[in-house]
Amino acid sequence: MEKIIQITSGRGPLECQWVVAKLLKVFLEEAKDNNIDYEIIHRENGDENLTLKSVTLLLKSKNINEFLKNWLGSILWTGKSTFRKLHKRSNWFIGVFELEGLEKINFNEKDIQFQTTRSQGSGGQNVNKVNTAVRATHVPTGQSIFVQDSRSQLENKKFSIARLKEKVLEQNIIQLQKQMQETWNNHLNVQRGNPIRIFSGTDFKKNYQDKSFKKERNQLKNELKNYKNDLN
Domain residues of the chain, as ranges?
2-103+176-220, 109-174
pLDDT (0 to 100) of residue 190: 42
| Whether residue 21 has pLDDT greater than 90 | yes
What is the CATH architecture of 2-103+176-220? 2-Layer Sandwich (3.30)
Residue predicted with more confidence, 58 or 106: 58
Whether the per-residue pLDDT at 29 is higher than 90: the answer is: yes
**Chain-wide mean pLDDT for the chain?**
80
pLDDT confidence bin for 63, thresholds 50/70/90:
confident
Q: Give 81's pLDDT tier (boundaries 50, 70, 90).
A: confident
- Of the pLDDT bands very low, low, confident and very high (cuts 50, 70, 90), residue 212 is very low
Q: Which CATH topology does 109-174 take?
A: Double Stranded RNA Binding Domain (3.30.160)
Residue 186 burial class via C-beta count within 10 angstroms: exposed 0-12, middle 13-18, buried 19 and up: exposed
Chain segment 150-207, per-residue pLDDT in tens = 888 889 999 999 999 888 877 777 776 666 665 555 555 545 667 889 999 887 877 6
pLDDT score at 135 = 92
